[in-house]
Amino acid sequence: MPRLVVATGNPGKLAELQAYLNDTGWELALKPPELEIEETGTTFLENARLKASQIALATGEWAIADDSGLAVTALNGAPGLYSARYGATDAERINRVLTGLAGQGDRSAHFICALVVVRPDGTVAAEAEGICPGEITEEPRGQNGFGYDPIFGVPELGCTYAEMSAAQKHDLSHRGRAIALLKPQLAALG
Protein backbone atom coordinates (compact mmCIF):
# COMPACT_ATOMS: atom_id res chain seq x y z
CA MET A 1 0.00 0.00 0.00
CA PRO A 2 1.50 3.41 -0.95
CA ARG A 3 2.03 6.19 1.58
CA LEU A 4 -0.28 9.18 1.84
CA VAL A 5 1.54 12.43 2.60
CA VAL A 6 -0.61 14.70 4.77
CA ALA A 7 -0.57 18.39 3.90
CA THR A 8 0.23 19.43 7.44
CA GLY A 9 3.29 20.03 9.55
CA ASN A 10 1.23 19.30 12.66
CA PRO A 11 1.95 15.83 14.17
CA GLY A 12 -1.36 16.04 16.13
CA LYS A 13 -3.39 16.33 12.94
CA LEU A 14 -1.41 13.46 11.41
CA ALA A 15 -2.06 11.21 14.42
CA GLU A 16 -5.79 12.05 14.40
CA LEU A 17 -6.16 11.29 10.69
CA GLN A 18 -4.08 8.11 10.98
CA ALA A 19 -6.33 6.85 13.78
CA TYR A 20 -9.47 7.47 11.69
CA LEU A 21 -8.03 5.93 8.51
CA ASN A 22 -6.19 3.00 10.12
CA ASP A 23 -8.53 0.33 8.82
CA THR A 24 -8.17 1.55 5.21
CA GLY A 25 -4.59 0.24 5.20
CA TRP A 26 -3.00 3.53 4.11
CA GLU A 27 0.10 4.70 5.97
CA LEU A 28 0.19 8.46 6.56
CA ALA A 29 3.30 10.67 6.64
CA LEU A 30 3.97 14.34 7.47
CA LYS A 31 4.74 16.69 4.58
CA PRO A 32 8.36 17.87 4.23
CA PRO A 33 8.70 20.92 6.53
CA GLU A 34 10.15 23.18 3.82
CA LEU A 35 7.01 22.83 1.67
CA GLU A 36 4.75 25.82 2.32
CA ILE A 37 1.49 26.12 0.39
CA GLU A 38 -0.53 29.30 0.00
CA GLU A 39 -4.28 28.89 0.43
CA THR A 40 -5.51 30.99 -2.49
CA GLY A 41 -8.72 29.08 -3.29
CA THR A 42 -12.18 30.60 -2.98
CA THR A 43 -13.78 27.55 -1.32
CA PHE A 44 -12.69 24.97 1.26
CA LEU A 45 -12.69 22.29 -1.43
CA GLU A 46 -10.51 24.39 -3.73
CA ASN A 47 -8.02 25.01 -0.95
CA ALA A 48 -7.84 21.33 -0.04
CA ARG A 49 -7.34 20.38 -3.71
CA LEU A 50 -4.62 23.01 -4.05
CA LYS A 51 -2.75 21.83 -0.94
CA ALA A 52 -2.98 18.13 -1.80
CA SER A 53 -1.94 18.49 -5.44
CA GLN A 54 1.04 20.70 -4.64
CA ILE A 55 2.27 18.25 -2.00
CA ALA A 56 1.81 15.30 -4.38
CA LEU A 57 3.64 16.99 -7.24
CA ALA A 58 6.50 18.09 -4.95
CA THR A 59 6.94 14.68 -3.29
CA GLY A 60 5.92 12.33 -6.13
CA GLU A 61 3.65 10.53 -3.65
CA TRP A 62 -0.08 10.28 -2.95
CA ALA A 63 -1.25 13.20 -0.78
CA ILE A 64 -4.23 14.14 1.39
CA ALA A 65 -5.24 17.64 2.51
CA ASP A 66 -8.08 19.13 4.51
CA ASP A 67 -9.44 22.61 4.82
CA SER A 68 -12.06 23.61 7.32
CA GLY A 69 -13.75 26.53 8.97
CA LEU A 70 -16.81 28.06 10.58
CA ALA A 71 -19.53 29.94 8.66
CA VAL A 72 -21.96 32.13 10.63
CA THR A 73 -25.20 33.01 8.80
CA ALA A 74 -25.74 36.49 10.28
CA LEU A 75 -22.09 37.38 9.55
CA ASN A 76 -22.59 36.54 5.85
CA GLY A 77 -20.60 33.32 6.19
CA ALA A 78 -17.68 34.82 8.14
CA PRO A 79 -15.14 33.86 9.41
CA GLY A 80 -15.33 31.21 6.61
CA LEU A 81 -12.07 30.76 4.75
CA TYR A 82 -10.47 33.20 7.22
CA SER A 83 -11.38 31.11 10.30
CA ALA A 84 -7.73 30.58 11.27
CA ARG A 85 -6.89 34.27 10.73
CA TYR A 86 -9.98 35.98 12.21
CA GLY A 87 -7.93 37.20 15.20
CA ALA A 88 -4.50 36.65 16.75
CA THR A 89 -5.59 34.04 19.32
CA ASP A 90 -8.51 31.63 19.84
CA ALA A 91 -9.90 33.99 22.50
CA GLU A 92 -9.78 36.97 20.11
CA ARG A 93 -11.39 35.00 17.29
CA ILE A 94 -14.18 33.79 19.59
CA ASN A 95 -14.70 37.30 20.92
CA ARG A 96 -14.97 38.71 17.40
CA VAL A 97 -17.72 36.24 16.51
CA LEU A 98 -19.64 36.92 19.75
CA THR A 99 -19.33 40.69 19.35
CA GLY A 100 -20.44 40.49 15.72
CA LEU A 101 -23.57 38.61 16.79
CA ALA A 102 -24.52 40.93 19.66
CA GLY A 103 -28.22 41.76 19.36
CA GLN A 104 -28.72 39.33 16.44
CA GLY A 105 -31.68 36.95 16.56
CA ASP A 106 -30.22 34.49 14.07
CA ARG A 107 -27.29 32.62 15.66
CA SER A 108 -27.22 29.75 13.18
CA ALA A 109 -23.86 28.60 11.83
CA HIS A 110 -22.15 25.57 10.39
CA PHE A 111 -18.71 24.03 10.31
CA ILE A 112 -17.38 22.70 7.00
CA CYS A 113 -14.51 20.30 6.33
CA ALA A 114 -13.23 19.44 2.86
CA LEU A 115 -10.88 16.47 2.40
CA VAL A 116 -9.10 15.69 -0.86
CA VAL A 117 -6.82 12.82 -1.89
CA VAL A 118 -4.68 13.22 -5.00
CA ARG A 119 -2.47 10.86 -7.01
CA PRO A 120 1.28 11.40 -7.43
CA ASP A 121 0.56 13.21 -10.73
CA GLY A 122 -1.57 15.80 -8.90
CA THR A 123 -4.98 14.61 -10.15
CA VAL A 124 -7.86 14.22 -7.69
CA ALA A 125 -8.60 10.60 -6.72
CA ALA A 126 -11.18 11.15 -3.97
CA GLU A 127 -12.85 14.03 -2.17
CA ALA A 128 -15.53 14.65 0.42
CA GLU A 129 -17.15 17.54 2.24
CA GLY A 130 -18.67 17.25 5.70
CA ILE A 131 -21.00 19.84 7.21
CA CYS A 132 -22.21 20.11 10.80
CA PRO A 133 -25.06 22.56 11.44
CA GLY A 134 -25.26 24.32 14.79
CA GLU A 135 -25.61 27.66 16.52
CA ILE A 136 -23.30 30.13 18.19
CA THR A 137 -23.84 30.15 21.95
CA GLU A 138 -24.19 33.40 23.97
CA GLU A 139 -20.93 32.62 25.76
CA PRO A 140 -18.11 30.05 25.63
CA ARG A 141 -18.88 26.68 27.28
CA GLY A 142 -16.64 23.62 27.79
CA GLN A 143 -12.95 22.84 28.01
CA ASN A 144 -12.32 20.25 25.29
CA GLY A 145 -11.20 20.64 21.71
CA PHE A 146 -9.72 23.74 20.12
CA GLY A 147 -10.50 26.87 18.11
CA TYR A 148 -14.17 27.87 18.05
CA ASP A 149 -15.30 24.70 19.88
CA PRO A 150 -16.53 26.51 23.05
CA ILE A 151 -19.05 28.67 21.13
CA PHE A 152 -20.32 26.09 18.62
CA GLY A 153 -23.50 24.54 20.01
CA VAL A 154 -24.99 21.41 18.48
CA PRO A 155 -28.75 21.41 19.27
CA GLU A 156 -28.98 17.62 18.64
CA LEU A 157 -26.84 16.97 21.73
CA GLY A 158 -27.60 20.19 23.61
CA CYS A 159 -23.92 20.97 24.11
CA THR A 160 -20.98 22.70 22.45
CA TYR A 161 -18.15 20.93 20.61
CA ALA A 162 -16.00 21.79 23.65
CA GLU A 163 -18.41 19.96 25.99
CA MET A 164 -18.27 16.73 23.96
CA SER A 165 -15.88 13.83 24.32
CA ALA A 166 -13.46 13.33 21.43
CA ALA A 167 -15.50 10.30 20.32
CA GLN A 168 -18.78 12.24 20.34
CA LYS A 169 -17.20 15.07 18.39
CA HIS A 170 -15.77 12.65 15.87
CA ASP A 171 -19.17 11.03 15.32
CA LEU A 172 -21.04 14.16 14.41
CA SER A 173 -18.49 16.85 13.58
CA HIS A 174 -17.85 18.28 10.11
CA ARG A 175 -14.47 16.48 10.08
CA GLY A 176 -15.96 13.15 11.21
CA ARG A 177 -18.64 13.40 8.53
CA ALA A 178 -16.09 14.22 5.81
CA ILE A 179 -13.90 11.31 6.90
CA ALA A 180 -16.87 8.93 6.89
CA LEU A 181 -17.62 9.95 3.28
CA LEU A 182 -13.98 9.72 2.20
CA LYS A 183 -13.15 6.36 3.81
CA PRO A 184 -14.95 4.03 1.41
CA GLN A 185 -13.44 5.91 -1.55
CA LEU A 186 -9.98 5.58 -0.03
CA ALA A 187 -10.42 1.88 0.75
CA ALA A 188 -11.50 1.28 -2.87
CA LEU A 189 -8.33 3.01 -4.15
CA GLY A 190 -6.10 0.70 -2.11
Q: Which residues bind ligand IMP (CB under 6 A)?
A: 67-70, 83-84, 111, 145-149, 161, 173, 175
Rank residues 73 and 120 by Cβ distance to ligand IMP and give the closer one. Answer: 73
Length of the chain as a residue count: 190
Active site residues: 67
Candidates 113, 7, 6; CA nearest to 51 is 7
Least distance (Å) from ligand IMP to the CB of residue 181?
A: 16
Least distance (Å) between residue 88 CB and ligand IMP = 12
> 3-state DSSP call for residue 97?
helix
Which residue lies nearer to ligand IMP by CB, 3 or 146? 146
Count of CB atoms situated within 10 Å of the CB of 101: 21
- Residue number, nearest CB to ligand IMP: 147
**Residues β-bridged to residue 154:** 159
Rounded to whole angstroms, how far apart are CA atoms 23 and 43?
30
Q: How far is the CB of 45 from ligand IMP (least distance, A)?
A: 12
Element (H, E) at 13: helix 11-21
Q: Please, which residue, 26 or 148, has the CB nearer to ligand IMP?
A: 148
Residue 176 CB, nearest approach to ligand IMP (Å): 9
Looking at the Cβ atoms of 20 and 120, the one nearer to ligand IMP is 20
Residue 45 contacts by C-beta under 8 Å, 6 or more apart in sequence? 67, 114, 116, 127, 129
